[in-house]
Amino acid sequence: MNIAMLGSGAWGTALANLLCENGHTVTLWTRSAQRAADMARSRINPRLEGVPLHPNLQFSSDLSCAQSCQMTVLATPSYAIRQTAAAVRELLPKDALLVSVTKGIESGTGLRITQIIEEETGLRAAALSGPSHAEEVSRNIPTGCVAACADISMAEQIQDVFMNDSFRVYASGDVVGVELSAALKNVIALCAGVCDGLGLGDNTKALLVTRGLTELARLGIVLGGRQETFAGLAGVGDMIVTCTSMHSRSGASWILIGQGVPVRQAMEQVGAVVEGYYAAKSAYELSRKVGVEMPISREAYAVLYEGKAPAETIRTLMRRDKKHEFEDAGWL
């Protein structure tokens, strides 16, 4: 199969390598002609350090590389998805399989990534998500993900294209639950990082992750997701891997903020897109729009956008009104 991978970050590059290993003809697109030339010459992408690029992987800075492809995978940062989808709209075959591997919610509209792609291209889009660090996938460490689409046959096609001995894919019809889990777990990952930055312990992180998953699921079910999705790979699986690993950029930046580094400075110091920063705003906006209580996400927003001290958010959350554990869980 001819496949275009739009986005040359670590995740797009790892998946492009994987697809080449599966025998597909893959072109990795980047905005920079110089970067495309450098990768073609060196067979290295600095964004995925130490990983040799597959000898059959091709490179381009021209979106027309998607023109003859049966599948196009969008792997750009969330803020660039709408622009990229609009730019490639006239180039895509009408029967192209479109797959989003980007995690995020659009600020202002509250749209999920596949909704943005569908709005801009007029074609159906699927999501591929789950607990998957690019660094580990590129080293063929066993990994499991979920391909989700309202059209389950499309999810099954994606399953066939991506699966191999080290990358297992499950099919799901719950694109709403999978995408919301993917985007909003980054908020809790940021908060897990602040626990480390503040010098807090495993008890605190366990409390945070458990209650964070509860509020994510509460919102997701109201928006049309299935409760079992939040207990699966896309939900609790992705939450675990993002909150417990130093591979996570969100966690790394938030550790600095917990140590007192200003938000903008911390993100610049990490030197990469921190999706949780944008996800916190989206979670806050969505929860207000549909009237769902999300106290952890609200406090993350307060720190990121309102200048609240991280230590103060801990006190706010711990002194909330008393509750029964499952009275507002909804999904349990």
Of the pLDDT bands very low, low, confident and very high (cuts 50, 70, 90), residue 323 is confident
pLDDT (average), residues 72-97: 95
Enter the tokens of residue 55. Answer: 């000898």
Q: Where are the domains of the chain?
A: 2-173, 183-318
Average pLDDT across the chain, whole number: 92
Check pLDDT > 60 for residue 251: no
Check pLDDT > 60 for residue 76: yes
Round to whole Å and give the CA distance between 77 and 104: 8
Check pLDDT > 90 for residue 328: no
Q: What is the pLDDT of residues 95-141, one digit of tens each?
A: 999 999 999 898 889 899 999 999 999 999 999 999 999 999 999 99
* Catalytic residue of the set 94, 103, 185, 205: 185
What does the pLDDT read at residue 260? 85
Regarding pTM above 0.85, the answer is yes
What does the pLDDT read at residue 332? 43
CB 138 within 8 A of CB 15: no
What does the pLDDT read at residue 271? 59
Check pLDDT > 90 for residue 246: no
Q: What is the 8-class DSSP label of residue 260? A: T
Q: Which helix (H) or strand (E) holds 276?
A: helix 275-290
Q: Which residues contact 5 (CB under 8 A, 6 or more apart)?
A: 12, 13, 15, 16, 19, 26, 27, 28, 29, 73, 75
CATH class of 2-173: alpha beta
* Encoded amino acid at 48, one letter: L
Check pLDDT > 50 for residue 161: yes
**CA nearest neighbour of 7 among 71, 81, 117, 58:** 81
Q: What CATH number was assigned to the domain covering residues 183-318?
A: 1.10.1040.10
Is 281 noted as a catalytic residue in this protein? no
Q: Which residue has the tokens 């993002």?
A: 242
Q: Which residues contact 279 (CB under 8 A, 6 or more apart)?
A: 103, 104, 105, 183, 184, 186, 187
pLDDT (average), residues 46-57: 95
